[in-house]
Amino acid sequence: MSRYWSDIVHRLKPYVPGEQPALAHPVKLNTNENPYPPSPAVLAAIRAELGDAAEVLRRYPDPVARKLRETVAAHHGLKAEQVFAGNGSDEVLAMVFLALLKHELPILFPDITYSFYPTYARLYDIEYRTVSLDASFAIRTSDYAVPNGGIVFPNPNAPTGLALPLAEIERLLAANSESVVVVDEAYVDFGAQSAIALIDRYPNLLVVHTVSKSRSLAGMRVGFAFGHPDLIDALVRVKDSFNSYPLDRLAQAAATAAYEDDGWFRDTRAKVIASRERLTAGLKALGFDVVPSSANFVFARHSSHDAATLAARLKEQEIFVRHFNLPRVDQHLRISVGTDAECDVLLEALRKLLDGSAG
Ligand SMILES: Cc1ncc(COP(=O)(O)O)c(C=O)c1O
């Protein structure tokens, strides 16, 4: 706190990311990173980009990430002008809030969702209303049929992992032609239907993607927005009023190579999905209720053991899972899908904790 702070800084409630422990070999299942490395082609592309490092690093990167945007556009059957690239999808979302969601009416998002949304809203002084998920944590699209300044939600939702069918998203788009609907598809590759297929029919749709999860590149910080060129133009205007070069050279080269190696993407995704089903079965065998997940994490609660206590006991063993001290979900753990070996370490630790009355 300082007298030099602006009013808005006093009012901010910054997002708190999951812990990145400084340990040699933690079992790290708390931030939904991919347990597998990126494609070897990504590492080769970074090395090639460095080439004569001193010469390359001296110059600014491409401010519009043209090659990357063209590659990703071709991958999704879009045009480059329908693609915006930013420094991680968090930054893309931050620009979306300012460029497309700051209007007279409040914006809407689920009561249980990605906790960065209220943070952005407060940063920009955007009024928001949360809409309750139903008892099984599903988004009821009919609840969003009220005048609004925009709608934003992840699909699959975070931290539940529950996916909304594409037909429901289309219903929401059709009923909200006056406002922008943002579908944050950070986890879509692990089992949900992408709304990208609807972009050409709905000029109010913006879809946000990231390379952090299904392409194993959280450390490179690259994210995208896909939508009508007019929406993309709004994001470019905000970007160019903030930072012309959000993506460095290595990030652009790495992300481009990740999209070019589709085989690696498909293989690692299949492994994560198989491990998710195995982890889910293991948790259920220990007495956990597990929300059906279409993501690279599961959301689970035990009827007789306190979630915060379990998370703390696991942490003592250098096993990290995420616990949110929030209404309705404070008895749940969000567990990222690791390798089968990591999931087995977790399941064995949980088995001992539950046997030994960790309650
Ligand atoms: C729903 C959701 N959206 C966006 C992000 C941000 O991802 P990144 O900034 O790494 O692209 C996350 C990260 O955990 C997320 O869970």
Cα–ligand 1 centroid distance for 88 (angstroms): 8
* Closest residue to atom 2 of ligand 1, CA basis: 186
**What would the mean pLDDT of 87-102 be, rounded to a whole number?**
98
Atom of ligand 1 nearest to the CA of 159: 16
Strand order in the sheet with 332-336: 288-290, 297-302, 332-336
> Residue 129 above 50 pLDDT?
yes
DSSP string, 14-52: ---PPP----SS-EE-SS---SSPPPHHHHHHHHHHHSS
CA dist., res. 301 & res. 352, Å (int): 16
89 lines ligand 1 (CB under 6 A): yes
Q: Which of 18-22, 255-259, 309-313, 342-346 has the lowest mean pLDDT?
A: 18-22
The reported pTM is 0.97
**What would the mean pLDDT of 279-286 be, rounded to a whole number?**
98
86 lines ligand 1 (CB under 6 A): no
pLDDT at site 51: 87
Cα–ligand 1 centroid distance for 57 (angstroms): 28
Is residue 34 within 8 A of residue 215, CB to CB? The reply is yes
154 lines ligand 1 (CB under 6 A): yes
> Residue 357 above 60 pLDDT?
no
Q: What is the pLDDT of residues 199-254, one digit of tens each?
A: 999 999 999 999 999 999 999 999 999 999 999 999 999 999 999 999 999 999 99
pLDDT at site 252: 98
pLDDT at site 136: 97
Cα–ligand 1 centroid distance for 33 (angstroms): 10
Q: What are phi and psi of 24, to 5 degrees?
A: -70, -50
Q: What is the pLDDT of residues 12-33, one digit of tens each?
A: 989 989 999 999 999 999 999 9
Among 95, 116, 120, 189, which residue has the most ligand 1 atoms within 8 Å of its CB, making it the best to mutate?
116
Cα–ligand 1 centroid distance for 101 (angstroms): 18
Cα–ligand 1 centroid distance for 104 (angstroms): 27
Side chain identity at residue 274, one-letter code: A
Atom of ligand 1 nearest to the CA of 89: 11
212 lines ligand 1 (CB under 6 A): yes
> Residue 358 above 60 pLDDT?
no
Is residue 278 within 8 A of residue 139, CB to CB? The reply is no
For residue 319, the SS3 value is strand
> Residue 131 above 80 pLDDT?
yes
Cα–ligand 1 centroid distance for 249 (angstroms): 21
* Closest residue to atom 15 of ligand 1, CA basis: 186
Higher per-residue pLDDT: 52 or 358:
52
Atom of ligand 1 nearest to the CA of 154: 1
> Residue 89 above 60 pLDDT?
yes
155 lines ligand 1 (CB under 6 A): no
What's the Rg (C-alpha) of the chain?
21
What percent of the chain clears pLDDT 70, i.e. is strictly above it?
Answer: 99
CA contacts within 13 A on the Cβ side of 37: 5
> Residue 127 above 50 pLDDT?
yes
CA-closest candidate to residue 65, choices 54, 49, 77: 49
> Residue 72 above 50 pLDDT?
yes
pLDDT at site 359: 44
Cα–ligand 1 centroid distance for 132 (angstroms): 21
Please, what is the average pLDDT of the chain? 96
Structure tokens at 75: 């991958």
CA-closest candidate to residue 321, choices 288, 356, 285: 288
> Residue 130 above 70 pLDDT?
yes
pLDDT at site 1: 86
Categorize the per-residue pLDDT at 54 as very low, low, confident or very high, splitting at 50, 70 and 90.
confident
